[in-house]
Amino acid sequence: MVSEKKNFAHNDIETLRSRVIVERDRVTSTASTDFPHTYPGQDLAFNLERFKEMFKIKINRLSKTEMEFDMSGIDASIANAFRRILIAEVPTMAISNVFVMNNTSIVVDEVLAHRLGLVPILADPTKFDFKTKDDTPMDTNTIVFKLAVRCTRNPNAPTTETDPLKKYNHSSVYSGDMIWDPKGDQAERFKECPIKPVFDDIVIAKLRPGQEIDVEMHCEKGLGQDHAKWSPVATATYRLLPEILINGEITGESAVKFQQCFPEGVVDVVVENGVKKAVVVNPRKDTVSREVLRHAEFENKVKLTRVRDHFIFTIESVGSIEPQDLFVQAVQVLVDKCAQVKRALQAALHSE
């Protein structure tokens, strides 16, 4: 979003409706006004066909655990609904119960159970049922792990050795020491993708000779709104697309100073006819620090805005579910919520 000629006035209707204005000491035009009868002569009623035309998603970066994408043409309330659903309402599998047979480590049982519960589990939650308090553990609602580790001295270690990893055997207990114990037909059902911790190098406890941990863990399906251990994301965030509007031209040494007011890559200084000129090349990298607004020489020459309906969305998965699948599941959760509200409204109308 680049403009070098146009400078929107504060009372410009289009600016008030579609942009958030970033000023030196405040942020204005923050409230959404996209509803009927707000502006004379403008029909802002919701239109499904117009929504389909305007709504767009573009994936910019994708890995096994992280995805950044642009989502435009929607209201902030919808974007925030996706964020909240990703954090709290997409189900995963996590350790719910820990049965301690023996624990002589310095980590008390309650803390050990808490640490084990936070280990992300690589298991498809759609293949399991929710377990209620009245249900008994079954292969359709429970995953069982066992952890049995005992620390001993390494007979081959030199007497002068001080590194616990070399001096002792199993001086550290890792998530990779958790062994999946298939029940029922789980071994056959998940032979293509065996159930295991997402990461094998998570430190659970540290032991010394004679100490041991012997526990059995039961994983159940749950939601992040009940406990953070069931949240499928490390974080899900969004920010509005920055926009830098330049009125006229910024040239000479002022162009260099202007460039230095922004993070690297936002503004370039080009030479045209032997004159340095500031050009906005990638405003999405801008952190909207407002540094440029502190300098009197740029007053009335630059305006910082953010596009109200364009969101740069980032999903960081804990690894149990890939981020692109997480977003699809979040959309389905929102669809189900809308369907539930629709059924409730229809029932209320029929009861009148």
When pLDDT is cut at 50, 70 and 90, the band that residue 141 belongs to is: very high
CATH number for the domain including 109? 2.170.120.12
Question: Is 281 among the domain residues?
Answer: no
Query: What is the domain extent for residue 214?
Result: 92-231
The set of residues, in sequence order, having a beta carbon less than 8 Å from that of 227 and lying 6+ positions away, is 94, 117
Q: Which of 201, 231, 261 is the last residue of a domain?
A: 231
User: In total, how many domains does the chain have?
Assistant: 2
Same domain, 77 and 99: no
Question: Is 4 among the domain residues?
Answer: no
CATH number for the domain including 47? 3.30.1360.10
pLDDT at site 15 = 67
Same domain, 82 and 151: no
State the Cα–Cα distance between residues 315 and 62, nearest whole angstrom.
10
Strands of the chain (E only): list them. 2-3, 19-22, 27-28, 56-62, 66-72, 92-103, 121-122, 143-150, 152-153, 168-169, 172-174, 179-180, 196-197, 203-206, 212-222, 233-246, 267-272, 275-280, 302-317
Model pLDDT for residues 174-192, shown as the tens digit of each residue: 999 999 999 999 999 999 9
Could you give phi then psi for residue 52, rounded to 5 degrees? Answer: -60, -35
Model pLDDT for residues 234-273, shown as the tens digit of each residue: 999 999 999 999 988 999 999 999 999 999 999 999 998 8
Q: What percent of the chain has pLDDT above 90?
A: 81
Closest CA to 34 of 22, 21, 50: 50
Question: Is 144 among the domain residues?
Answer: yes
- Compute the average pLDDT of residues 298-308: 92
Query: Residue 344 in contact with residue 106, Cβ under 8 Å?
Result: no
Question: Is 283 among the domain residues?
Answer: no
pTM to 2 decimals? 0.86
Lowest-pLDDT range of 117-121, 155-159, 178-182 = 155-159
Same domain, 107 and 51: no
Same domain, 101 and 79: no
